[in-house]
C-alpha cells in the first residue's frame, strides 16, 4: 500500500529483463547501459547495478561527476562520458578510471596529458558532438600516443526506421574507421548504435551498443513492441475529494468547468514534481478503475481529476503512468517523447525499488 503522498516505483527486475532483450538483439556486441541524468530519472546507481546484473558490461554518463558518483558507490565497471568533457576533466577521469568521449583537439590533449583513456568521436551527421576534422584528430591522437579504447559516433534518426540518413551515417562511420586504421589506430571498440539501432539496425551494432531508453522499458520506436517492460510507475494517493455542482470552475484560470454535479479528486503531484503543466485537460491518469483526463491547470504541487459519480475517496491510488497509462501515452498527449516524461520526475518524489 502507498503510505506517502506519492512515489515512483522502479522495478529493477524489469531493467535486468530489458538488458537481456537488448543483449539478445545486439548479436554478440557488448552492451553499454546509459545511466545519465540519474538513470533517466530512475536512479543511476540502482539501475547501473541492475543493468550489470542483466549483462551490460559498460555504463554511459554525460558528466564526469556522474561517473564519479558511480565509482563512489562502489561500481567498478567501465564507464564512458558520452558528452564532450570540460577543461580539466582528464585529471578527474584518470583518477577515477573513467573513459572520456572526445571530439576536439582540446579535449584530446587534456585527456592525454592526464593519462585518461579516450573514445574518439566522429560527427557522421548529427551535427552535435564529434569531430568534423576527423583525419587531423586521428593524426593528433596517434602523435600524442593517446590510449584510444574506442571510435564512435551517434545516429540522428535511428528511431525513424529506414530513414536515408541512417545508411548515410553508417557509410560515413565506415569511412572514419578506415581513416583510423590507415593511421595505425586499432581501437578495441567501435560503437554507433543507440536503443533504436540496437533493435532495428544490425549493420550498426559493431562491438558495442549504447541503449538508453530501452533499458528503462520504453520503446525507442513508438508503435513497436520489442518485449520491453516499463521500469517506472508513478503513483500518488488521492489527498481529498469533494462534491461540487455543475458549472464549477476548477483550478487556476478555470480552464475546466464541470458539466454536471460531480466529484473532484485532488492528486498531490504537480509541476514541482515533474508533471508537465501542459498536461492540463490533456493527459490521463488511472483513478477509480479507469483512465481519466486531468481537469484544469496542473499546479506546482497538485492537480484535479473529475471522477463523475464514481466512488473515489481520499487514500485511493492514482497512477500517473506505468502499465496504464504509459509514459508513451503521456508523451503522445503532450507532443514529446517518453524520455522527457520519466527523466523530469523530480527528486522530491521518493523512489522505491522493487525486483
Q: Identify the three-state secondary structure at position 121.
A: strand
pLDDT digits over 98-122, tens only?
A: 999 999 999 999 999 999 999 999 9
The answer to whether residue 193 scores a pLDDT higher than 80 is: yes
The CATH superfamily of 232-354 is Lyase, Ornithine Decarboxylase; Chain A, domain 1 (2.40.37.10)
Question: Model-level pTM?
Answer: 0.96
Q: Where are the domains of the chain?
A: 12-216, 232-354
Please list the active-site residues.
36, 252
Determine the average pLDDT of the residues in 126-142: 98
Question: Contact 295/281 with Cβ under 8 angstroms?
Answer: yes
Percent of the chain whose predicted confidence (pLDDT) is above 90: 98
Strands (E), the chain: 6-11, 30-34, 58-61, 79-81, 99-102, 118-121, 148-152, 189-191, 208-209, 232-237, 240-244, 249-250, 256-257, 262-267, 284-287, 290-293, 303-308, 317-321, 351-354
3-class secondary structure, 341: helix
- pLDDT single digits (tens) 54-113: 999 999 999 999 999 999 999 999 999 999 999 999 999 999 999 999 999 999 999 999
Q: Omega into 325 within 30° of 0, i.e. cis?
A: yes
pLDDT at 222: 86
Q: In this structure, which topology does domain 12-216 adopt according to CATH?
A: TIM Barrel (3.20.20)
Amino acid at each position: 500500500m502507498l503510505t506517502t503522498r506519492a512515489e515512483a516505483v522502479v522495478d529493477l527486475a524489469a531493467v535486468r529483463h530489458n538488458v537481456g532483450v537488448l543483449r539478445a538483439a545486439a548479436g554478440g556486441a557488448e552492451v553499454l547501459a546509459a545511466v545519465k541524468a540519474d538513470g533517466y530519472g530512475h536512479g543511476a546507481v540502482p539501475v547501473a547495478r541492475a543493468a550489470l546484473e542483466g549483462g551490460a558490461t559498460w555504463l554511459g554518463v554525460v558528466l564526469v561527476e556522474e561517473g564519479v558518483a558511480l565509482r563512489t558507490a562502489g561500481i567498478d565497471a567501465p564507464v564512458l562520458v558520452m558528452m564532450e568533457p570540460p577543461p580539466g576533466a582528464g585529471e578527474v577521469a584518470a583518477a577515477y578510471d573513467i573513459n572520456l568521449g572526445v571530439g576536439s583537439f582540446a579535449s584530446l590533449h587534456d585527456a592525454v596529458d592526464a593519462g585518461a583513456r579516450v573514445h574518439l568521436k566522429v560527427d557522421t551527421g548529427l551535427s552535435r558532438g564529434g569531430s568534423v576534422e576527423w583525419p587531423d584528430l586521428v593524426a593528433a591522437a596517434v602523435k600524442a600516443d593517446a590510449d584510444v579504447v574506442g571510435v564512435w559516433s551517434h545516429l540522428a534518426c535511428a528511431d525513424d526506421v529506414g530513414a536515408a540518413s541512417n545508411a548515410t551515417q553508417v557509410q560515413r562511420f565506415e569511412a572514419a574507421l578506415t581513416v583510423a586504421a590507415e593511421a595505425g589506430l586499432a581501437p578495441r571498440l567501435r560503437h554507433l548504435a543507440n536503443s533504436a539501432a540496437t533493435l532495428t539496425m544490425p549493420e550498426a551494432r559493431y562491438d558495442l551498443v549504447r541503449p538508453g531508453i530501452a533499458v528503462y522499458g520504453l520503446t525507442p520506436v513508438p508503435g513497436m513492441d520489442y518485449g520491453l517492460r516499463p521500469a517506472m510507475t508513478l503513483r500518488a494517493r488521492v489527498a481529498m475529494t469533494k462534491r461540487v455542482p455543475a458549472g464549477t470552475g476548477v483550478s487556476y484560470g478555470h480552464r475546466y468547468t464541470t458539466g454536471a454535479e460531480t466529484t473532484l479528486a485532488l492528486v498531490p503531484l504537480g509541476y514541482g514534481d515533474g508533471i508537465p503543466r501542459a498536461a492540463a485537460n490533456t493527459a490521463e491518469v488511472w483513478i477509480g478503475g479507469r483512465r481519466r483526463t486531468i481537469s484544469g491547470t496542473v499546479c506546482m504541487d497538485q492537480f484535479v481529476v473529475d471522477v463523475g459519480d464514481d466512488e473515489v475517496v481520499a487514500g485511493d491510488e492514482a497512477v500517473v503512468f506505468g502499465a496504464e497509462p504509459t509514459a508513451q501515452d503521456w508523451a503522445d498527449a503532450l507532443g514529446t517523447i517518453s524520455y522527457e516524461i520519466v527523466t523530469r520526475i523530480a527528486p522530491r518524489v521518493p523512489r522505491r525499488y522493487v525486483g
